[in-house]
Amino acid sequence: MTTYYYILASQRFLLEEEPLDEVLRERTRHYQEKNKEIDFWLVKQPAFIEAPEFAEIKAKCPQPCASVVSENSEFITWLKLRLEYVIKGEFEAPSSSIRDPIASLEPVS
């Protein structure tokens, strides 16, 4: 199992009120310059919040929600400090309740 770290907030907050796309583009560019594999993902309506252990967190987060999931705890800590009004946490996957750490419940269009 791998430990994944995340920030979670409403889609409106992450995608409209904060310049998250700019932050993620800069991070992607930095990884490319360092020949580092991408270890973070933006997930709209993340499926992991449907796991029973996330019931309390889901109840606190305005819906629809979005998440940045990463294997890099320092990046997620930095995002939490940068964005402030987000929920930060971690989980292990794959597990019996979280099969795919970056699965989305949002319909594919």
pLDDT per residue over 42-93, tens digit each? 999 999 999 999 999 999 999 999 999 999 999 999 999 999 899 999 999 9
Mean residue pLDDT of the chain comes to 95
Burial of 33-69, coded b for 16+ CB within 10 Å and e otherwise, reads eeeeeeebbbbebbbbbebeebeebbeebeeebbbbb
C-beta separation of 78 from 46 below 8 A: no
Taking the model in full, what pTM does it have? 0.94
Nearest-5° Cα angle at 103, 23 to 107: 95
